[in-house]
A and B are shown apart, each in its own frame.
Chain A
Amino acid sequence: MGIDYIIATIIKIVIVMLVFSALAGFGTYFERKILAFMQRRLGPMSVGPYGILQIMADGIKLFTKEDIIPTSAVDKIFKIAPIITASTAFMAAATIPFWPDFTIFGYRVQPIITDSSVGLLYVIGVMAIGLFGVLLGGMASSNKYSLISAARSSAVFLSYEVITGLALLAPIMLVGSLSLVNFNAYQVGGISNWLVWKQPMAFILFWIAAFAETGRTPFHLIANDHEIIDGFGTEYSGMRWGLFFIGEYANMFFISFVIVLVFMGGFGDGSVLSALAFLGKVAFFFFFFLWTRAAWPDVRPDQLMWLCWKVLMPLAVINIVITGFVVMF
């Protein structure tokens, strides 16, 4: 472990942080635009050409807004909570490869912060820690809506953690590794080698669970505006609320990367074309998060639990059993 390794790692961390913080901002712009187009509106148009500078305006607003902390809130926890959400979202990116290896200035660069042997588990585990931001934020706000949202979020996260784990177990059994780089290597060689054809059930289950993990629309009951205001974010203002937002969008991007790497072939053989296709696939899954928000209604908490425990979990277990038999014989 030389000094150059540490410098390279720090540079990679800074780049991932900067790129995905910026992408979170652009994500809000894309979301507003796409939702607007799907609802026959135009979306932001005033700031800059086609409203592209709306991100800047939002950023200035969030940074300069007063940071209000309610008197009855538990102030230290209240302050920490959004940082937990944002930081765990970025920490989860540590074992995700964002691009195939390439050579620059004579250095061989691996665009992954660390290729751990337990990469996939790490991503899922750390993403699940993001629950604590929502949970503590909701409990520390001393607001009833926040508390309801905290209870819902912990119920949803705990339930769908099971689905995520069980759904991923079957592909892990096939690949025989937890490293996302190995997952990619397993699927090299064209569309027919993608894991989605071998594990369609696991793919759908994981995709559904991804919506719950990120709290996006069919499962947006964590912060349903029409019944519990903004849930855990009700009492937050300014940049602390912005951190929750960045965390949510970074999570959406990272889970899209994971879906593509695990099921849709990742960046394939590492040529530039397949790497661009990789980003295209990630963009599609990100777009799908926005698409469903325009199209689908939200489900009730009890329906969500019903779906998780009575439908998805049995299916995941059956899938694992079948995969086990196939692997064995």
Chain B
Amino acid sequence: MSIEQFKNRNISDDYYLVDIDDYPTTNLGKFTRAIKRTFKAELLVGLWVVMREMLKFNIHTVQYPKEKLPIGPRYRAVHEMKRLWESGTERCIGCGLCEKICISDCIRMDTKIDEESRKEVSEYSINLGRCIFCGYCAEVCPELAITHGGRYENASEQRAHFIMYDDMLTPMDMLKAGAQKEFEGFGAITPHEDESVKKTPLSY
């Protein structure tokens, strides 16, 4: 793509500058303008445009609760806690980086040394009522244990439900079915994104 082509950002060649006359000051000018506007039948053009769209029946509505648009992997919705593929144990090593970096102070974790003298996470909670979904916790996690998922529909009767660790942890059956989604990283793009890229009609 040469630079000339790149500079031409109009999406079609039909663009033209609208020629706007000065407002008439004389009475005759006002009269002729009124007559012109009356018989130009521009109102019929408007009627035709909406009628055409109705007859085409090209509906763009997404009936949301029944249909959902795909969501990009970059999207930062409710967190997910991942498990190790081989053993199924939690990936979280209890390093506490996410708790430390969390700018809205909504992550709390508690760790202890278990019988095999390994560090184990005994408590882990994210207060989603406070979380601003900045994504620092996922960025800082050395084990890719905490990531953001795509679940954006949150509704509950109690605030306490928004800090349930078990909801975020990948269930064992999902893991066994191989349905645990790996985090693609922060630069990840939506699948088939380049197909939907268009030139903008604005030439800066």
Contact = CB atoms under 8 A, between A and B. Distances in A.
Nearest to B61: A42
A325 interface: no
A291 B47 contact: yes
Contacts of B49: 295
Contact of A40 (B43, B46, B59): B59
Contacts of A34: 54
B63 A39 contact: no
Contacts of B194: none
B62 to A, nearest CB: 10
Contacts of B173: none
Contacts of A311: 34
Contacts of A291: 47, 50-51
A41 B54 contact: no
A37 B58 CA distance: 8
B59 A295 contact: no
Nearest to A34: B54
Given A40-B58, A292-B47, A295-B47, A45 B53 contact: no
Contacts of A45: 63
B196 to A, nearest CB: 18
Interface string B74-111: 00000000000000000000000000000000000000
Nearest to A311: B34
B23 interface: no
Contacts of A292: 47
B65 to A, nearest CB: 9
Contacts, number: 38
A296 interface: yes
A42 B59 contact: yes
A294 interface: yes
B36 interface: no
Interface in A33-59: 34, 36-42, 45
Given A296-B46, A311-B34, A38 B53 contact: yes
Interface residues of A, number: 15
B60 interface: yes
Contacts of A37: 53-54, 57, 59
A40 B51 contact: no
Interface string B21-34: 00000000000001
A34 B50 CA distance: 10
Contacts of A36: 61
Contacts of B54: 34, 37-38
B63 A38 contact: no
A42 to B, nearest CB: 4
Contacts of B58: 40
Contacts of A42: 59, 61, 63
A116 to B, nearest CB: 36
B103 to A, nearest CB: 39
A42 B59 CA distance: 7
Nearest to B49: A295
Interface in B160-178: none
B53 A40 contact: yes
A41 B50 contact: no
Contacts of B46: 295-296
A294 B58 CA distance: 16
Given A296-B43, A311-B34, A38 B50 contact: yes
A296 B51 CA distance: 12
A294 B51 CA distance: 9
26 contacts: A34-B54, A36-B61, A37-B53, A37-B57, A37-B59, A38-B51, A38-B53, A38-B54, A39-B50, A39-B53, A40-B53, A40-B58, A40-B59, A41-B59, A41-B60, A41-B61, A42-B63, A291-B47, A292-B47, A294-B50, A295-B43, A295-B46, A295-B47, A296-B43, A296-B46, A311-B34
Given A38-B54, A41-B59, A45-B63, 10 more contacts: A34-B54, A38-B51, A40-B53, A41-B60, A42-B61, A291-B47, A291-B51, A295-B46, A296-B43, A311-B34
Interface of B: 34, 43, 46-47, 49-51, 53-54, 57-61, 63
Q: Which 5 A-B pairs have the closest CB atoms?
A: A38-B50, A295-B46, A42-B61, A294-B50, A37-B54
Interface of A: 34, 36-42, 45, 291-292, 294-296, 311
